[in-house]
């Protein structure tokens, strides 16, 4: 018998329940990846993620070859391609990981129906891309948690399953045709400092970061210049690492750093369970606020300044330049950049979320859209009107100004925290720096936002 394992956001061989189940139910498996035309048509296949994906597929193919198998790659509609391959090898079942977005749920439903009409079965595995499946813990009378802390409490009481080892051997039928693997060199428009993808790289990163930074994670995760967070987000997005395995390891390690890290992984599950229950939150306000955001046209110059990292607020500009250069941004930078766009400039969160999705290597519908909504005050934040002050936040999370000087080199002649307020320099000194004045005053931005929302926080 032959089974197909359809890889989606789970590009790994370690702790992979669909692969494990297929290998135990069948003599041979076809590990399959489909470049879905719909993802490309929706503009979701941004260059940074395509380049990272190329690394992931190459690495997955190598891992399978080491075990006597290989990866089969096709392009087109996932349903059509899976059914085609199933027909070619007469597969009796297809295994895949459960998804949470509207796209993933539709893909699953279509596939189940198409396979059933040919007498084949779809087996969907939970807790592959998240630690707990959405809906596993719920508050009384509701289908999901809308507040993080009670979710975290309940989530923490469930110990995830033990991680599965990578399989020893994978037998693939010899006569299944595959396209060439996507080559990273063929992808254009990639950020210069983009990280390398793939499970091997992800596992190396875990080992190195664990040793160097886990113990101090709680104290250092907000330190912009220290850059001491795990940078595992793209690996979690593409599933080259298993979140359940990370939680398992961290809980075993114990300590304040490990606990704080597990809490962040819980935020990821939290947003996934919100999106699974409310798929419209990807595009519409989760909690309507009746905002009349400034139109993209009215605010076009400010939006352009924000995207290009020349708002005149050094820490916001540093964060936006890190995003263009690396396709990744520190979490504190993301919070500041999002607060600035939505609250100081009063621009619709969807404009910012779209820009992030165009560049972020970890760009993810659940995490991106719901974090944007959290910061815009339309999501799950219990203080929806909070406004982050980029000067105070800069001084607090980049006290020496090193993060700003790293990403905004025009300002690297200004020592220490003074770099957060170049407008305060004496005029002759200020004139030496080719750096813009603030696009708007913070007081003006805050007043406009608070007037619009009708109250202060
Ligand atoms: P670490 O601090 O090492 O945390 C470990 C892991 O926990 C992360 O890899 C991530 O998977 C998860 N995590 C941490 N913080 C959050 C959070 N607030 N929400 C959900 N998961 C979290 N994260 C994405 O993965 N993709 C996105 O598209 C994305 N967009 C964001 C947009 C905005 C406006 C904001 C404020 C945050 C966004 N985040 C997103 C969440 C967070 O910023 C990143 O996950 C984190 O910066 C990744 O860095 P790290 O891997 O070093 O994180």
Q: Which of 164, 179, 163 is nearest to 70 (CA)?
A: 179
Q: Say how many Å lie between the CA of residue 72 and the centre of ligand 1.
A: 31
Q: How far is the CA of 297 from the centre of ligand 1 (A)?
A: 30
Which atom, in ligand 1's list, is nearest to the CA of 270? 20
| d(C-alpha 31, C-alpha 11), whole Å | 10
One digit per residue, pLDDT tens: the chain, 457 residues?
999 999 999 999 999 999 999 999 999 999 999 999 998 888 888 999 999 999 999 999 999 999 999 999 999 999 999 999 999 999 999 999 999 989 999 999 999 999 999 999 999 999 999 999 999 999 999 999 999 999 999 999 998 789 999 999 999 999 999 999 999 999 999 999 999 999 999 999 999 999 999 999 999 999 999 999 999 999 999 999 999 999 999 999 999 999 999 999 999 999 999 999 999 999 999 999 889 999 888 899 999 999 999 999 999 999 999 999 999 999 999 999 999 999 999 999 999 999 999 999 999 999 999 999 999 999 999 999 999 999 999 999 999 999 999 999 999 999 999 999 999 999 999 999 999 999 999 999 999 999 999 864 5
Q: Model confidence over 155-202: pLDDT tens digits?
A: 999 987 899 999 999 999 999 999 999 999 999 999 999 999 999 999
Name the DSSP letter for residue 163.
Answer: P
Range 367-380 burial, b when 16+ CB lie within 10 A, else e: bbbbbbbbbbbbbb
Atom number in ligand 1 closest to CA 362? 26
**Residues above pLDDT 70, as percent of the chain:** 99
Kindly give, in sequence order, each residue whose CB lies less than 8 Å from that of residue 321, ignoring residues fewer than 6 positions away. Answer: 309, 407, 408
- Residue 306 three-state SS: helix
Q: Say what the pLDDT of residue 296 is.
A: 84
pLDDT score for 40: 85
Query: What string of DSSP letters covers 278-303?
Result: -GGGGTS-SS-----PBPTTTTHHHH
Pocket test for ligand 1, best of 129, 268, 376 (most atoms within 8 A of CB): 268
Per-residue pLDDT at 44: 86
Closest CA to 364 of 205, 239, 264: 239
- Can you give the C-alpha Rg of the chain in angstroms? 23
Name residue 31's beta-bridge partners. 5
Which domains, ranges and CATH numbers included, belong to the chain? Answer: 2-128 (3.40.50.620), 130-159+201-277 (1.25.40.80), 300-453 (1.10.579.10)
Q: Whose CA is nearest to atom 44 of ligand 1?
A: 331
- Write down the pLDDT at residue 307: 98
- CA–centroid distance, 79 to ligand 1, in Å, is 31
Q: Which residues of 289-298 are buried (b: 16+ CB within 10 A; e: fewer)?
A: bebebbeeee
Task: Using the mean position of ligand 1's atoms as its centre, give its distance from the Cα of residue 327 in Å.
Answer: 13
- Pocket-forming residues, ligand 1, beta carbon under 6 Å: 221, 229-233, 236-237, 264-265, 267-268, 271, 331, 334-335, 338, 356, 360, 362-364, 367-368, 371-372, 375
State residue 178's pLDDT score: 98
Cα of 24 vs centre of ligand 1, distance in Å, is: 35
Please give the C-alpha separations between residue 334 and each of 124, 209, 235, 371, in angstroms, as whole numbers.
33, 21, 18, 9
Nearest protein CA to atom 47 of ligand 1, as residue: 331
Helix (H) or strand (E) holding 38: helix 37-41
Say what the ipTM of the complex is: 0.99
């Amino acid at each position: 018998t032959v089974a197909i394992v359809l890889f989606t956001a789970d590009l790994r061989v370690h702790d992979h329940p669909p692969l494990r189940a297929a290998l135990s139910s069948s003599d041979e498996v076809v590990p399959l990846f489909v470049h879905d035309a719909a993802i490309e048509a929706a503009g979701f296949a941004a260059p940074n993620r395509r380049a990272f994906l190329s690394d992931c597929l190459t690495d997955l193919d190598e891992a399978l070859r080491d075990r006597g198998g290989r990866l089969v790659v096709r392009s087109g509609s996932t349903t059509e391609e899976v059914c085609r391959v199933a027909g070619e090898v007469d597969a009796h079942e297809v295994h895949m990981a459960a998804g949470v977005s509207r796209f993933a749920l539709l893909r699953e439903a279509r596939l189940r129906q198409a396979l059933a009409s040919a007498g084949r079965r779809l087996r969907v595995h939970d807790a592959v891309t998240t630690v707990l499946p959405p809906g596993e813990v719920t508050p009384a009378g509701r289908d999901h948690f809308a507040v993080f802390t009670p979710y975290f409490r309940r989530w923490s009481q469930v110990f995830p399953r033990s991680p599965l080892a990578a399989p020893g051997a994978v037998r693939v039928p010899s006569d299944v045709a595959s396209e060439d693997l996507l080559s990273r060199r063929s992808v254009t428009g990639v950020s210069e400092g983009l990280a390398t993808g793939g499970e091997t790289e992800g596992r190396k990163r875990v080992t190195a970061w664990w040793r160097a930074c886990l113990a101090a994670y709680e104290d250092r995760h907000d330190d912009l210049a220290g850059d001491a967070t795990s940078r595992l987000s793209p690996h979690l997005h593409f599933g080259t690492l298993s979140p359940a395995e990370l939680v398992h390891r961290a809980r075993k390690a114990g300590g304040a750093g490990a606990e704080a890290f597990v809490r962040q992984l819980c935020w990821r599950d939290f947003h996934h369970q919100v999106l699974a229950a409310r798929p419209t939150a990807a595009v519409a306000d989760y909690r309507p606020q009746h905002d009349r955001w400034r139109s993209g046209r009215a605010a076009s110059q400010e939006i352009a300044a924000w995207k290009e990292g020349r708002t005149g607020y050094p820490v916001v500009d540093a964060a936006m330049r890190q995003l263009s250069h690396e396709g990744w941004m520190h979490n504190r930078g993301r919070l500041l950049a999002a607060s600035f766009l939505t609250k100081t400039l009063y621009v619709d969160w969807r404009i910012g979320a779209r820009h992030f999705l165009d560049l972020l290597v970890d760009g993810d519908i659940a995490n991106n859209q719901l974090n944007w909504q959290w910061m815009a005050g339309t999501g799950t934040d219990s203080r929806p009107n909070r406004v982050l002050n980029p000067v105070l936040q800069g001084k607090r999370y980049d006290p020496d100004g090193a993060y700003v000087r790293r990403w905004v080199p025009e300002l690297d002649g200004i020592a220490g925290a003074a770099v957060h307020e170049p407008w305060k320099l004496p005029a002759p000194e200020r004139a030496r720096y080719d750096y813009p004045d603030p696009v708007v005053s913070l007081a003006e931005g805050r007043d406009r936002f608070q007037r619009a929302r009708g109250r202060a926080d």
